[in-house]
Amino acid sequence: MKILLKKIHVYLYVASVALTYFLFWPLLYYFSRNPSRYHGMNKLRRAWGFLSSGFVGFLFSYEYEQPIDWSKTYIVCPNHTSNLDIAAMSVLVKSNCCFMGKETLKDGLVTGLFFRTVDIPVNRESKMSSYRAFKMAGERLNSGYTLIIFPEGGIADNYPPTLHEFKNGPFKLAIDLKIPIIPVSTSDTWKKLWDDGTKYGTKPGICHYHVHRPIETAHLAPADADALRDEVYGIIGRQLQLGYMALEIA
């Protein structure tokens, strides 16, 4: 009975995402027609992420190591275990922003509009696609957008999830453009919804995100990219260990 209820909850979540998307669609479409309107598209995405998740009992809680000045530009690097991470990051970032994600998202029913406009699709198997994507990301950052990128490159297949190796791209970009990086950790979102939720079902609850202090990159050289990657990996990894220990105690 428990797994049946969790499976039913998956469909409720999918219905909530789809229904709220189509309610927002006329305005999203209007804002998507011109890059000068993307800020409006992002505001609607934040509202959509909050409402579509909240309607079925998914809530987001953010713990900050220090206040974030969202008038500045950042590269936000969260660990990735759940589709809810996308909504959570949309709600977290209070400024104009864009995601970088896999190229297939261009064809998604509710992701396609974003990844054909404000967001940046990338085929990580193609060097040319990766080059074009990071060139576009640099242009977005220089225009004042905050870039949200999952440095693991996607959600891994292992369950329970573990932190996987980080890609180098975001760290090279941060150093090249002297953009601070904000690591973000979540150790319990997968317990509510792992991946897309279809395999194990979903259950409502609070998803906790730890927003680490920004890491400055202005003093770093290109040769420091690997060290920066490892620093961010270590920060997130240590926080996940604390989170997993708390889950075991609970």
Q: Phi, psi at residue 249, to the nearest 5°?
A: -65, -40
For 227, 229, 243, the CA distances from 236, given in Å and listed in that order, are 14, 11, 10
**pLDDT for res 249:** 67
Task: Look at residues 173, 180, 229, 215 and name the one whose alpha carbon lies nearest to residue 65.
Answer: 215
Neighbours of 239 (CB within 10 A): 21
**Could you give the count of Cα atoms lying within 13 Å of 248 in the half-sphere of its Cβ?**
6
For 111, 113, 147, the CA distances from 131, given in Å and listed in that order, are 22, 22, 16
With beta carbons less than 8 A apart as the criterion, state whether 122 and 129 touch: yes
- The DSSP 8-state label assigned to residue 109 in this structure reads T
**pLDDT for res 246:** 72
**pLDDT for res 29:** 97
pTM to 2 decimals? 0.95
pLDDT, averaged in runs of 10, over the chain (250 residues): 87 96 97 97 97 98 97 98 98 97 93 97 90 95 97 93 95 98 97 95 97 98 98 97 76
